[in-house]
Chain A
């Protein structure tokens, strides 16, 4: 036995230029959003806040293992501001050394998507979108935005698409998986229709506050459970969108699942197909086996990458999901960050696989050059 697990720790040569499909910018203080909010909503934010469907006004129900909403301990800029709030430091710690050609922003905090006061939610979401332009992809051309949408208020979402949909630096529109109902339900279809018409993918990053328990068996005790429950939520989301017939209705819609994992996709597809065969009389609107819609309409970001003991198992899973469907992501600056030099080192990818995973899939999907 060698002193260190050198096979694990040897960096691979990351291909020059990676596309990172999940970077989290945040505000250094709520006042960062002031230029984009009216006095009415600035005051509301200060006094009432988003008033999520959850126990705590200013904390997550399952406390993270790190500060700044679960960030890498080394990701606070020298100023001491929250991790992810300082563009120069993000360049220095991440974009430059990891050779990020493009990074897709996923602004999760603050967010108005789950706000119970929908008028406030719309304004806060709009402010976050303006702030992406003003503070992030405006000054840094490598960064691209996600146009955040309030899913419970599709009319507001459509207004937001009208405002910014044509901005080419918003490379996708985004909603969160947890809301009042499973995302495939028809109340959300206006958003899908608009996304399909716009020709931009719908990016769905794990998260959202629904007020419902994180499992179908109630409230779990631990963060380790809640962290994992995001994967199961994505399985339910795929099931809902496919079974409700979203892709029969919107055959051009492309969906990117962000940070929800992908190794579960093959098993879910086999399960869907098997029981669809028995129960298809219930869902005559589906013209094809569920797995075919999944294969055609979903993409997945890679982080946090699974690490089975035998790397061949991971390669099997990636073969089955499809090398054209997986998009590299780091989740910077969050604690479960994947480093492009190490995360796939044990798999000994072929140059072709490297290229697709780290760069070409995302470039093709988002139309980046």
Chain B
């Protein structure tokens, strides 16, 4: 049964920002992409590098040698070790999107008044009814 964990208040992670949290013993990175939230396991599926400490870049592509395009700024995570790229929205790698993926978790923003009814776990939060919270399902 997945559990729901409160990991931050809604205002805490600005657009383009991120936050590290430990829930249920797992290190997780939570990212704000243009107001949408995504959460990834902070462990690279390759050799276990601290993925969420990687540089956030755009998706760089090319149709033809010598030309370079850039899209989706800040939505790609480059592992700080060997540089494999991961899509923050899905956890899928660029190099082998079907087989090499890091675990992605469902994230929702919920008003505190729903949460106080439970069930949820807030390891570091005392939830107040007037605020909105970021909740990760693990």
**Contact digits for B82-109, partner A, Cβ 8 Å, 1 yes 0 no:** 1100000001000000111111100000
A72 / chain B contacts, CB cutoff of 8 Å: 49, 80-81
A1 / chain B contacts, CB cutoff of 8 Å: 98-99
A342-B80 CB under 8 A given contacts A4-B41, A4-B101, A4-B102: no
A74 lies within 8 A of chain B by Cβ: yes
B19 lies within 8 A of chain A by Cβ: no
Asked if B46 contacts A73 (CB within 8 A), the reply is no
> A339 CA to B44 CA in the complex, in Å?
12
Asked if B103 contacts A342 (CB within 8 A), the reply is no
A341 / chain B contacts, CB cutoff of 8 Å: 48
A338 lies within 8 A of chain B by Cβ: yes
Q: Which A2-59 residues have C-beta < 8 A from chain B? A: 3-5, 8-9, 11
Q: Tell me the smallest distance from the CB of B94 to a CB of chain A, in Å.
A: 14
> A3 CA to B97 CA in the complex, in Å?
11
The dominant DSSP class at the A interface is: loop
B16 lies within 8 A of chain A by Cβ: no
> A72 CA to B98 CA in the complex, in Å?
26
B55 lies within 8 A of chain A by Cβ: yes
The dominant DSSP class at the B interface is: loop
Query: How many B residues touch the partner, as a band?
Result: 20 to 34
One of A3, A4, A11, A336 near B82 (C-beta < 8 A): A336
Query: How many A residues touch the partner, as a band?
Result: 20 to 34
A8 / chain B contacts, CB cutoff of 8 Å: 45-46, 100
B17 lies within 8 A of chain A by Cβ: no
B83 / chain A contacts, CB cutoff of 8 Å: 65-66, 335
Q: Tell me the smallest distance from the CB of A45 to a CB of chain B, in Å.
A: 32
A9-B46 CB under 8 A given contacts A73-B53, A73-B55: yes
> A230 CA to B49 CA in the complex, in Å?
25
A234 lies within 8 A of chain B by Cβ: no
- Interface centre among B47, B91, B100, by most chain A C-beta atoms within 10 angstroms, is B47
Q: Which residues of B contact A (CB under 8 A)?
A: 41, 43-50, 53-55, 80-83, 91, 98-104
CB-CB nearest 10 A-B residue pairs: A73-B80, A342-B47, A9-B45, A339-B47, A74-B80, A5-B45, A4-B103, A342-B48, A5-B100, A4-B45
Q: Which residues of A contact B (CB under 8 A)?
A: 1, 3-5, 8-9, 11, 65-66, 72-74, 335-339, 341-343
